[in-house]
Amino acid sequence: MSGRKGRVLIVAGSDSGGGAGIQADIKTVTALGGYAMTAITAVTVQNTLGVSGVHAVPIDIVRGQIEAVISDLGADAWKLGMLGSAEHVRAVSDAYETFSNGATMVLDPVMVAKGGAALLADDAVELIATQLVPRATIVTPNAPEAARLTDMEVRDLAGQIDAAEKLVEELGAHAALIKGGHIDGDIIRDVLLTREGYRVFEGPRIATQATHGTGCTLASAIAAYIAQGASIEQAVERARAYLIEAIRHAPGLGQGHQPLGHGWPLASKANT
């Protein structure tokens, strides 16, 4: 672990509004002291009100970005976000098998944008479950994503636990974090299952419009911490704390689902 340099290769889509996707990922990894690199899978036309267009990046360009980064800079962790199509899932899975050298994979199976736009083709869901989940160090779906990956109902804590068990014990992930933000209630519970057992994180729901990019941010924070030597459980605990403060430090921009204050650790240091 002492040889880790905090290098995170982010394979995901771009968000022109800067609140989610590649932009949120880069901000997060940088704020937490890591080094962010990217392979962009799609360019989206979006702001806080929603997604109005998606342009997929050609497969050979996605793979080329990955190969260029790994051959020169290397990576201590890969963070996978929006992949979009079955073809992109296959290409990224093959690239990970070829170039990763066993690096940590944090898999955030992005399926739907905060505003409701579909970001993953139906035929790509099964490929994620069969090709990427078994290679994942940790997979971080929200409740609806976990339901689609496992073909189970995920509407409460029991459903979260059942989905985590299926992702780890049947589909082969090393660990699973089933997020509870989409489940009704004043308390949000996130269920972490590793090969060592369960841990349930919980905290009060924050009343805010600043929810855009929360999933991307959490997964990238986990990747940044693992890339710098943290264990899975340590990374999840620290990433959740970072996310909560990023929500609290949100700049209040936009008319819809607003972005987070990703740079709050840097601002805090500047003010001390």
Catalytic residues, by residue number, are: 179, 211, 213-216
Q: Cα dihedral angle (34, 44, 136, 156), rounded to 10 degrees?
A: 110
206 close to 248: Cβ distance less than 8 angstroms: yes
Radius of gyration (C-alpha) of the chain in whole angstroms:
17
191 close to 164: Cβ distance less than 8 angstroms: yes
- Here the tokens at position 10 are 């982010």
CA 38 to chain CA mean position, Å: 14
- Among 90, 83, 74, 2, CA closest to 37: 74
β-strands 187-194, 176-178: how paired? antiparallel
Secondary structure letter of residue 33 according to DSSP: T
- Here the tokens at position 68 are 């260029």
Q: Cα dihedral angle (78, 230, 197, 163), rounded to 10 degrees?
A: -30
Q: Give φ, ψ of 151 to 5 degrees.
A: 55, 45
